[in-house]
Chain A
């Protein structure tokens, strides 16, 4: 009984949003296929941005609103490759390289700024985002075509100064990563299940002999998942959806790669340093960890991953508004992570994915649910904004309350 209660109290946020999504789905009454394919699309393009937030949280720097800077690096990279007329995977690879270089530099500067404003990283990150936006505007709206010689039929504003405010990627760039290889959702599910089976068999062979009950549990788990998969594939109404939905495999691999990278870092010496610094800067310093260096590294990682995320996002969209596309990146990603049950001082890859799925689901259902209830799409739009900002506010308040409670408990125990 106690464990169930615990489960609920620990996952309150996730459960609340899951119910909200369910409600919105029932009210909206959209076709399952539309919802699922749209959701896949959105999850693929948003996941990496959310993953970018994990490392700074681990290093005790809170929610990194500074990922906006990473997003701008990606936009700069796309402007360049569009100017160079590069397309397809080649274009993606070059864009990746360019945005990595820019975001490493930006991340380094941002990290130095964070070190100067210890304890106020979140607000610093937010302001750095606005300031970065100013520099971005200065470069692409003022300096391009004046100080920096630049002319491009497609990109430049007629007067010759600055880049157009809507940037349409050239043919072959939209979805360059997505369209290389697509598989049906059903095929992907089967492949995942096969991998899972192999992994489990490996585990049983390797250390199953000593631990019989563990073997039993994993076999039961395997049976349940197998049954669930069979059900999904055999029930006609569901199977129609999973066979029609397509998954962009390269993008999926990219997302998996970044998550594995995040997971891998946590198990390294560097990850341990991130955690040590995150728990107590003073103690980390006294044990000889170069705290400033570690915090700069954390910021660089975050900025680079964010720039990759924005790249994946923009190639999926194909068109973006040159000067405002990055603006919501910070808030939306942070809100998504928090919906997944993460907090200011703890976040995992799993929470990031749960959060992305729930947040994007709500995002895509809210407008039509709003239309159904109030006969007005605007209400749904409004609802989205309220949720994304509200979630952040609630998370901050909860964090403050928790911290106070902990402090009080600590004072009592002295």
Chain B
């Protein structure tokens, strides 16, 4: 029996109405590696934010359940407190200040000071910085992880991989460190760097420091972990000990929903691929921060429903955003034989290509205009609809706008007080319906839909998905849907492209197995 370092019991957390953690248990011994595995939105990051006392948790009402640190119940309410206990975190987004040197970053808020006349009166925060000692200790920490850089160079000029290691050096440098959380550390690393990181982690644990490892790369998880905790939709699916499973088994556990294949809408792939190609995407690169598409090549066939699936950060969202002209892109996209210009949303819309953004409050809606205006705006701007013409003047035709809006409200079941209400007062699901209504009124030939069901309730989800399928079947609109919810893609799409590392990893049939999806999404060839 080793000494238990950390125990989390029945952890629960809700944001507003949605419960993101539903009673998760976790136990970790000193010097052990525990891996957290699960799809995006499974609750891994929330769990770690709770452990780290992040503001996003504290300010939304804290958490339920109990955390035991070395057998003592603790209530962690700030990162400072977590650090005091000896918990360190290597963040997914770098917590490094690019204009600072390596030393300044490693010693951030733990600067060593020399006392002087003023600090003796006003306290240690007026102490002069002791650059020499800081430099020296940083060097020692860097040596420990075999990182050969000078401590006085600026972090901003370093490669992504090196930055990752500077973060690790910062945690190592903390004298009281007992546990380090790695939040998807290898997502941005090259293979060699990943290898190096794994060796480093093994060295760290050999020194008695425990590690919580969050990763989508299942091979690495299998290799490193003493224990694997699989989360799905905020629930603990299973805790596995070393050697109990392999990557395939893990993938099944991670994705494993029982898709009801009798409900599937998809049509045979062979038939779809015989249809005419409406859009050819060749080597598309989109620099959308955090979701970069590196080289996407795919054909979209007339009248199909194509799905893009993949984990967050792999670039699936960038494809439709890039084509819609919202982020700087390069490569080639040909639509019906003509090249589409990049960075010109108007030109894309004029070709009757619609886009429903994943950012419905930011890009999607005019929150302070009426629902009627929101629904009709695109059609007015692009198609010149809803105007009456009087010679040189044009007047907005409110009557026909109202008729259209009312029809859409009816059809999609938008719950509102009327077409004059502002969408800011609507629930997320109803806002999403307004976004879809707008794209439909503009009657596009190709419709890109990004994350149409993110953060909305089940009822609205069903209405939206059914409506999209109906739109496709009745009007023949080609639909390209990007979603993190594999299940919904599999129930409605004809073909599903798995996006990994900014590229199309494979194109699957909706009926392919859970393992296949799981492995491909983690970048393993199945």
Q: Residues on A close to B: CB < 8 A?
A: 264-265, 267-273, 275-276, 279-280, 282-290, 408, 410-412, 414
The reply on B262 being an interface residue by CB < 8 A is no
**Using a CB-CB cutoff of 8 Å, which residues 47-79 of chain B contact chain A?**
54-55, 78-79
**Using a CB-CB cutoff of 8 Å, which residues 75-107 of chain B contact chain A?**
78-80, 83, 89, 91, 95-100, 104
Decide: A268 and B287 in contact? CB cutoff 8 A.
Answer: no
> Helix, strand, loop or mixed for chain A's interface?
helix
Decide: B97 and A276 in contact? CB cutoff 8 A.
Answer: yes
**Neighbouring B residues of A410 by C-beta, 8 Å:** 289
Q: List 5 A-B contacts (CB under 8 A).
A: A269-B111, A279-B97, A283-B95, A285-B55, A411-B327
**Neighbouring A residues of B127 by C-beta, 8 Å:** 268-269
Cα(A267)–Cα(B116), bound, Å: 12
The reply on B425 being an interface residue by CB < 8 A is no
**Neighbouring A residues of B113 by C-beta, 8 Å:** 268-269
CB distance from B111 to the nearest CB of A (A): 5
* Residue in chain B with minimal CB distance to A297: B125
| A272-B104, A280-B97, A286-B89 given; 7 more Cβ-contact pairs under 8 Å | A264-B118, A268-B128, A275-B100, A276-B100, A283-B97, A286-B95, A408-B328
The one of A267, A276, A284, A288 in contact with B83, judged by C-beta atoms closer than 8 angstroms, is A288
Decide: A267 and B96 in contact? CB cutoff 8 A.
Answer: no
Q: What are the 9 closest A-B residue pairs judged by CB atoms, nearest first? A: A288-B80, A287-B109, A270-B125, A279-B97, A287-B108, A283-B95, A411-B287, A289-B109, A269-B113
Decide: B292 and A414 in contact? CB cutoff 8 A.
Answer: yes
The reply on B124 being an interface residue by CB < 8 A is yes
Cα(A284)–Cα(B287), bound, Å: 27
Interface string of B176-190 (1 = CB under 8 A from A): 000000000000000
The one of B98, B99, B109, B125 in contact with A268, judged by C-beta atoms closer than 8 angstroms, is B125
Cα(A287)–Cα(B124), bound, Å: 18
Cα(A82)–Cα(B287), bound, Å: 64
**Neighbouring B residues of A270 by C-beta, 8 Å:** 125-126
Cα(A285)–Cα(B98), bound, Å: 16
The reply on B407 being an interface residue by CB < 8 A is no
Q: Contacts A276-B97, A414-B287 given; indicate if A268 touches B129 (C-beta within 8 A).
A: yes
Q: Contacts A268-B129, A272-B111 given; indicate if A288 touches B97 (C-beta within 8 A).
A: no
Q: Contacts A276-B97, A279-B97 given; indicate if A287 touches B79 (C-beta within 8 A).
A: yes
The one of A269, A275, A279, A283 in contact with B124, judged by C-beta atoms closer than 8 angstroms, is A269
The one of A265, A273, A279, A408 in contact with B109, judged by C-beta atoms closer than 8 angstroms, is A273
**Using a CB-CB cutoff of 8 Å, which residues 292-350 of chain B contact chain A?**
292, 327-328
The reply on B381 being an interface residue by CB < 8 A is no
**Neighbouring B residues of A414 by C-beta, 8 Å:** 287, 289-290, 292
Decide: B99 and A279 in contact? CB cutoff 8 A.
Answer: yes
Cα(A275)–Cα(B83), bound, Å: 21
**Neighbouring B residues of A285 by C-beta, 8 Å:** 55, 79
Decide: B287 and A276 in contact? CB cutoff 8 A.
Answer: no
